[in-house]
């Protein structure tokens, strides 16, 4: 029997409704295995702007830091789209990642057997399955580099600096190699070292770290080529390691191979066991409050939390298995719906998963 304190940043749009279903699932697993999860709800994103005038109040950071892990729904929406960069809801996400030192973002893209029809590629491209883990560096690169405006002889200009240190590359590379070791022992490094100095340092650092992992096969792709290969031969990828912006883009691309971004969980990890767990999808304001959002990405993020922050492997597997059973039984939300399947709302999808736990 263990007790865990979880900070919950449900956020905006569909964030709160998918989070509610996630918590129902976690509580059921807790009951079954005798764990107690205590939740502390804090504001981040647009709802925090409305209530406190800022996307990431210090209180939210403090509660997250003091917790055993953080669950995040989604942030953002049209309402806040015209605010200046440092006042936008997205600052909550970037700020939490930075404040909690969560430099490693794990985004598994797995094509469920039952969802092969939902994958937009022709069947022959995915007949060997898709099981890719994108390991994205999360607290460096141009998302965190110096930014600003200046006058040039072409008029006003803006810049965001892409910078990586050896230490930053080393730690994310180690994370990726360790993960690859537990999977198919194949790591693909993605950079743009033919053009970018930051990528040249990235590449040489990856090669240096690789000396400690002779058992893992390592290859390299330029990011433009990688985006193409992901479509042409998705089955040949195992683990991908890359920088912040490349990982942001490639993980959205990889998500589509699985049929819907509504299926993809993520874990953001740092040095300790504290992590932040969130679906890869956004706040989807157009479908918010209609009980049609897919809660699976958020529920699978809860499963990742059990595994990576709490070390509860069996409990995590129970959730993954329940999701697979529900999909195999033909239950679908609208985003993954196909002919002959049974369409469920957000709450009903969670009901079906609960019934399998």
Residues 6+ apart with CB under 8 A from 199: 191, 192, 193, 243
User: Is residue 12 among the annotated active site residues?
Assistant: no
Cα(20)–Cα(113) distance, integer angstroms: 27
User: Could you tell me the sign of the dihedral formed by the alpha carbons of 179, 205, 246, 130, in that order?
Assistant: negative
User: Is residue 238 among the annotated active site residues?
Assistant: no
Q: Which of 113, 124, 135, 109 is nearest to 248 (CA)?
A: 135
Between 7 and 94, CB nearer to ligand IPM:
94
CB of 33 to ligand IPM, least distance (A): 30
Which partner from the list Mn ion, ligand IPM, none does 93 bind, CB cut-off 5 to 8 Å by kind?
ligand IPM
CB of 350 to ligand IPM, least distance (A): 23
Q: Which of residues 242-271 bind ligand IPM (CB under 6 A)?
A: 248
User: Is residue 87 among the annotated active site residues?
Assistant: no
Q: Which two tokens stand for residue 224?
A: 């433009």
Residue 314: enclosing H or E segment and its boundaries? helix 313-328
CB of 339 to ligand IPM, least distance (A): 31
Q: Does 326 bind ligand IPM (CB under 6 A)?
A: no
Number of residues that bind ligand IPM (CB under 6 A): 4
Q: Which of 20, 27, 54, 90 binds ligand IPM (CB under 6 A)?
A: 90
Query: 139: how many CB neighbours lie within 10 A of its CB?
Result: 21
Residue pair 227/249 in contact by the 8 Å Cβ criterion = yes
Q: Which of 26, 72, 93, 176 binds ligand IPM (CB under 6 A)?
A: 93
With contacts defined by CB under 6 A, name the span among 65-73, 87-95, 188-196, 256-264 that binds ligand IPM.
87-95
Between 4 and 277, CB nearer to ligand IPM:
277
Q: Are strands 3-11 and 36-41 parallel, antiparallel or unpaired?
A: parallel
Residue 234 DSSP label: G
User: Is residue 248 among the annotated active site residues?
Assistant: yes
Residues that bind Mn ion in the complex, under the rule CB under 5 A: 248
Residue 203 DSSP label: H
With contacts defined by CB under 6 A, name the span among 14-22, 86-94, 165-173, 301-309 that binds ligand IPM.
86-94
Between 191 and 248, CB nearer to ligand IPM:
248
Catalytic residue among 28, 43, 192, 307: 192
Q: Which two tokens stand for residue 286?
A: 């157009």
User: Is residue 252 among the annotated active site residues?
Assistant: yes
Q: Which of 4, 97, 27, 3 is nearest to 319 (CA)?
A: 27
Which partner from the list Mn ion, ligand IPM, none does 100 bind, CB cut-off 5 to 8 Å by kind?
none
Catalytic residue among 27, 131, 252, 351: 252
Q: Is 93 helix (H, G, I), strand (E, B) or coil?
A: helix
Catalytic residue among 224, 286, 314, 321: 224
Q: Where are the alpha helices (DSSP H) in 233-312?
A: 244-257, 296-308
Cα(108)–Cα(304) distance, integer angstroms: 10
Query: 285: how many CB neighbours lie within 10 A of its CB?
Result: 17
Catalytic residue among 12, 238, 248, 335: 248
Between 209 and 240, CB nearer to ligand IPM:
240
Just list the catalytic residues: 143, 192, 224, 248, 252
Residues that bind ligand IPM (CB under 6 A): 90, 93-94, 248
């Amino acid at each position: 029997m263990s007790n865990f304190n979880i900070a919950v940043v449900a956020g905006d749009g569909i964030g709160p409704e998918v989070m509610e279903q996630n918590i129902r699932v976690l509580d059921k697993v807790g009951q079954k295995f005798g764990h107690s999860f205590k939740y502390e709800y804090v504001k981040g994103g647009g709802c925090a702007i409305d209530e406190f005038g800022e996307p990431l109040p210090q209180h939210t950071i403090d509660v997250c830091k003091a917790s055993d892990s953080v669950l995040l729904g989604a942030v953002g929406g049209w309402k806040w789209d015209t605010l200046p960069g440092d006042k936008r809801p997205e600052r909550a996400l970037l700020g939490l990642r930075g404040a909690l030192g969560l430099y490693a973002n794990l985004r598994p893209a797995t094509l469920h057997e039952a969802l092969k029809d939902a994958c937009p590629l022709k069947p022959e491209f995915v007949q060997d399955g898709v099981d890719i883990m994108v390991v994205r560096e999360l607290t460096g690169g141009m998302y965190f580099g110096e930014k600003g405006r200046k006058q040039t002889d072409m008029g006003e200009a803006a810049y965001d600096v892409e910078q990586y240190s050896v230490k930053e590359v080393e730690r994310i590379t180690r994370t990726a190699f360790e993960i690859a070791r537990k999977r198919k022992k194949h790591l693909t490094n993605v950079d743009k070292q033919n053009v970018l100095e930051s990528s040249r340092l990235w590449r040489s650092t990856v090669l240096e770290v690789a000396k400690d992992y002779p058992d893992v096969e390592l290859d390299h792709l330029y990011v433009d080529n990688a985006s193409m290969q992901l479509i042409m031969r998705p089955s040949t990828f195992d683990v991908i390691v890359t920088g912040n912006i490349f990982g942001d883009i490639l993980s959205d691309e990889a998500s589509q191979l699985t049929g819907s971004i509504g299926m993809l969980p993520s874990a953001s990890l740092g040095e300790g066991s504290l992590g932040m767990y969130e679906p890869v999808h956004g706040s989807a304001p157009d479908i918010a409050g209609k009980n049609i959002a897919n809660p699976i990405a958020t529920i699978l993020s809860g499963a990742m939390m059990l595994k990576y922050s709490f070390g509860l492997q069996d409990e995590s597997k129970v959730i993954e298995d329940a999701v697979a059973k529900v999909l195999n039984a033909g239950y679908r939300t609208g985003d993954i719906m196909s002919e002959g399947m049974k369409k469920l709302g957000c709450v009903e999808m969670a009901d079906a998963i609960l019934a399998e736990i």
